[in-house]
Structure 1
Amino acid sequence: MERLYGKECDPGQLSPLALAFAGDAVFELFVRERLVCMGNRPVNKLHRLSVEQVCASA
């Protein structure tokens, strides 16, 4: 896996929690992109919709 700053990073050396942390960010980006592509909405509405989809309850 390559970082934005060009330093190589071996995913096999990362903890499962670190990988989950990065994966959560990727998932949230996909959700946000989908919501934005659905049309213009107030930002607070976009935020609430994204939280509904990405927030996991304990």
Structure 2
Amino acid sequence: MMSFLDAMDARTIVVLGLILPLLFSLLLFFFARGFFRRFWLPILLIVGAFEWFLIVQVGPLFL
């Protein structure tokens, strides 16, 4: 039996990987404002690192 990720296209997984860190940071901003205000710099650095990794390391595979 195939798992959920096996059934998806590779481009869909990459797009989800690009969207999920942004969505996570937006959810923190709206639902945990105190936490986001206290740790906004580490949160944005981690999200930026995830985005950079996917764009630089995985993105050229689809060119």
Length-normalised TM-score, structure 2: 0.40
Length-normalised TM-score, structure 1: 0.42
Q: Which has the higher helix share?
A: 2
* Higher relative contact order, chain-length normalized (CA < 8 Å, sep 6+): 2
